[in-house]
Amino acid sequence: MANPKLEVTLRRIISEIDKLDSYRVDAQSLEARYQHFISELIMLRLFSAFEEGVSDIAFKLASGAVYTNGTSPALTVLSPSMSSARSNFLSHGRRKPVLNLKWTKSRFIRESVEHVIPASDPFVRQAQNHGTIINEMRIVRNVLAHKTTSAKRDFRTLVRQAYGGNAKVTPGVFLTSSKRFSRPRLVTYLTGTKIVLREMASGR
């Protein structure tokens, strides 16, 4: 059976991100409140696509895929399939198997794969290199999806860092505003997600 290809994952996820961006563009003709609402929906789906892309790349690398530059990851164990790759991530080399794999922070990505894909491997290194934008997207997604006290606190901290004060800004405004940024954060996240996934699959 042919080895899985990272290019297939990249094409699929990037196509979905481009579709999300088209929704953003179409929404620009609407009233601001509707733009804010749609941007929040796009952000939720974008981060889901990011998690899907990262996990798919990891499972494929662990089961024989090569990076897009043709090099192979330095695996500690090769899995015969993507499903067995997931099992190995959960249990191989661990004193106690973990119940779930996490892809929402650069640290979580490293911890999820480190016993199969070493921390020195390009996949992990690139996740660490892009840790800031991954974490920023996670914070915005969390305040939209969970609305917990900690999620709201983290979002307020993010807004304070961006606006330089305790501005009362909703996630929708934060995502669409271009007053404090050279371009809206949602555009940065849409573009950045494609860059991060390509880099993590690149082998560089």
pLDDT of the chain along its 204 residues, tens only? 678 999 999 999 999 999 999 999 999 999 999 999 999 999 999 999 999 999 999 999 999 999 999 999 999 999 999 999 999 999 999 999 999 999 999 999 999 999 999 999 999 999 999 999 999 999 999 999 998 999 999 999 999 998 887 778 999 999 999 877 889 999 999 999 999 999 999 999
What's residue 178's pLDDT?
83
pTM over 0.85: yes
Residue 44: CB atoms within 10 A of its CB come to 15
DSSP 66: P
Which residues have CB under 8 Å from 37's CB, separation 6+?
A: 172
DSSP 164: S
- Cα distance between residue 113 and residue 125, in whole Å: 12
What's residue 180's pLDDT?
76
Q: Name the residue ranges covered by the structural domains of the chain.
A: 6-132+172-200
Beta strands per DSSP E along the chain: none
Torsion of CA 35, 36, 37, 41, to 10 degrees: 100
- The residue among 69, 68, 93 whose CA lies nearest residue 79 is 93
* Tokens encoding 33: 């409140």
- The residue among 91, 51, 82 whose CA lies nearest residue 64 is 82
What's residue 127's pLDDT?
98
**Given the structure tokens 């934060």, which residue do they identify?**
174
What's residue 181's pLDDT?
80
Q: Taking a C-beta distance cutoff of 8 angstroms, is the pair 192, 22 a contact?
A: no
What's residue 1's pLDDT?
60
- The residue among 183, 141, 142 whose CA lies nearest residue 25 is 183
Write the CA distances from 10 to 40, 58, 163, integer angstroms: 23, 12, 34
| Distance separating the N- and C-terminal Cα atoms of the chain | 27
What's residue 162's pLDDT?
87
What's residue 117's pLDDT?
98
* Tokens encoding 122: 């390009």
- Measure the CA angle with vertex 154, ends 34 and 195; round to 5°: 70
What's residue 23's pLDDT?
98
